[in-house]
Amino acid sequence: MDLSLSNRPEGDKTVVEVGGEIDVYTAPRLREQLVDLVADGKYHLVVDMERVDFLDSTGLGVLVGGLKRVRAHDGSLRLVCTQERILKIFRITGLTKVFPIHDSVEDALAATD
């Protein structure tokens, strides 16, 4: 399954819905989406990964890049993910300490630092 991307405003945050496979081939499209949102002044992002089937280290790199971008504007990047197979790769790489990971979009939207 290819990558699917969409985004919608929710209050002062923007929810980015990602589905399908994030790998070395599709990750540039996710990067482009995050770059465009930040360029458009959207600095508080919630990336909903519940429909992601596959994520590799290239995808992790793009998410870390997105985090750096929003932080440069005092923004935030939260992830929504309950899938064990996806969470595992965040744990292996120590990135669970970097990204706030939520169980639901509602939870991520309600969160404040």
Partner 1 sequence: MTTVTVRFSALPAHVRTARLVAAAVARRSGVDEAVLDEVRLAVGEACSRAVDLHQRHAPDVPVTLALTDAGTSFRVEVVDAASPEAPDASPIDLAETAENADAGDGFDGGILPSNVGIAVISGLVDDLAVERRGDGLALCMTWPLGGHGQRAAAEAQSAKAPQATA
The reply on whether position 97 binds partner 1 by CB under 8 A is: yes
Interacting span for partner 1 (CB under 8 A) from 11-19, 41-49, 65-73, 104-112: 65-73
The pairing of strands 4-10 and 13-22 is antiparallel
Interacting span for partner 1 (CB under 8 A) from 9-17, 41-49, 91-99, 102-110: 91-99
The reply on whether position 82 binds partner 1 by CB under 8 A is: no
Q: Which tokens in the block code for residue 30? A: 């996710």
CA distance 39 to 95: 25
- List binders of partner 1 among 22-51 (CB under 8 A): 23-25, 31
Residue 25: burial class (beta carbons within 10 Å; 0-12, 13-18, 19+): exposed
**Could you tell me the end-to-end alpha-carbon distance of the chain, in angstroms, rounded to an integer?**
35
**Residues at the site binding partner 1, with contacts judged by CB under 8 A:** 21, 23-25, 31, 54, 56-58, 60-62, 64-65, 67-69, 71-72, 85, 88-89, 92-95, 97-98
